[in-house]
């Protein structure tokens, strides 16, 4: 079988690139222990509000001083509807949903995650002071466009640690 010179060059080039790609993946995984993030926490979507992590949505501070935010997505609201966080502080978001797949996105930041029924999504990020919109970026039904929440980030010195901040403003907005 005659293969043109250029075809052979492309085939060898692709073969070399694939070998480098899979070799670097194997090296990162085996030698350095890098693995992609995965869903390791599961939750019964029917019992979300009975789970200690999500029974009170909002901002909490653990014994070590780390800031955590528990968020529940539901058609067509994020709970809580409003949050206040400190600037320049790592904040860990824990999210789940009780109904369908939602996309949690903090607009103008790198904070974004899929929120899937039965799983707890988590990411950690920090913010600069300002007001941010939290939107659903995954179509979830006819009221999808109303699914939003507010995030206010204040300078660390003026932030007050809440016990747990809860608000149903998102539910009220979705009901309009």
SS3 19: helix
pLDDT of residue 32: 86
**Residues 43, 119 contacting (CB under 8 angstroms):** yes
pLDDT digits (tens, 9 = 90+) for 139-167: 999 999 999 999 999 999 999 887 544 44
**Mean pLDDT, to the nearest integer, of 63-91?**
94
H runs (alpha helix) in 27-146: none
Q: Which residues contact 44 (CB under 8 A, 6 or more apart)?
A: 118
Strand order through the sheet with 148-154: 82-86, 148-154, 130-136, 102-106, 112-115
Nearest to 56 by CA among 94, 89, 87, 91: 94
The chain-wide mean pLDDT, for the chain, equals 88
Contact 134, 105 (CB under 8 A): yes
- Phi/psi at 42 (5° precision): -120, 160
Residue labelled with tokens 């939290």? 134
pLDDT bin (cut points 50, 70, 90) of residue 39 is low
**pLDDT value for 165:** 43
pLDDT digits (tens, 9 = 90+) for 11-32: 999 999 999 999 999 999 899 8
Q: Which of 106, 138, 152 shows the shortest CA–CA distance to 125?
A: 106
CA separation for the pair 57, 159 (Å, rounded): 18
Please tell me whether residue 5 adopts helix, strand or coil conformation: helix
As given in the structure block, the two tokens for residue 23 are: 């070799």
Query: Please, are residues 134 and 104 in contact by the beta-carbon 8 Å criterion?
Result: yes
How confident is the model over 106-133, as a mean pLDDT? 94
The token duo for 30 is 């085996």
């Amino acid at each position: 079988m005659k293969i043109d010179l250029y075809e052979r060059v492309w085939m060898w080039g692709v073969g070399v690139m694939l070998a480098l790609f899979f070799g670097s993946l194997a090296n990162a995984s085996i030698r350095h222990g890098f693995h992609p993030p995965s869903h390791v926490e599961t939750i019964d979507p029917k019992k979300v509000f009975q789970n200690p992590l999500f029974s009170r949505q909002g901002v909490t501070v653990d014994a070590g001083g780390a800031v955590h935010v528990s968020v529940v997505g539901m058609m067509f609201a994020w709970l809580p509807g409003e949050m206040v966080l400190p600037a320049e502080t790592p904040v860990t978001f824990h999210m789940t949903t009780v109904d369908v797949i939602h996309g949690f996105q903090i607009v103008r930041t790198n904070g974004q995650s899929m929120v899937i029924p039965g799983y707890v999504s988590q990411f950690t990020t920090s913010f600069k002071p300002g007001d941010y919109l939290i939107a659903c970026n995954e179509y979830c039904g006819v009221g999808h466009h109303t699914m939003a929440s507010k995030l206010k980030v204040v300078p660390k010195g003026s932030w007050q640690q809440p016990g747990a901040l809860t608000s149903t403003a998102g539910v009220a907005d979705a009901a309009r």
